[in-house]
Amino acid sequence: MIELRGSKVVLRTMEREHCRTLWEQYEVEEPIPTEPVLPGHSLEGSDKWFEEMQEQQGKTQIYLGIFIPGGDLIGDVQLAGINYRNRSARLGAGVARREDRTKGYCTDAAMVMLGFAFEHLYLYRISAATTANNAGALRVLERYG
Residue 108 has pLDDT above 70, yes or no: yes
Separation CA 75–CA 25 (nearest Å) = 9
Separation CA 58–CA 50 (nearest Å) = 14
Specify whether the CB–CB gap between 93 and 77 falls below 8 A: yes
Q: In this predicted model, what pLDDT tens digit does every residue of 48-90 receive, in sequence order?
A: 888 888 888 889 999 999 999 888 999 999 999 999 999 999 9
CATH of 3-136, one of 3.30.70.600, 3.40.50.300, 3.40.50.920, 3.40.630.30: 3.40.630.30
Tell me the pTM. Answer: 0.85
- Tell me the domain boundaries of the chain: 3-136
> How much is the mean pLDDT over the chain?
85
Percent of the chain at pLDDT exceeding 90: 43
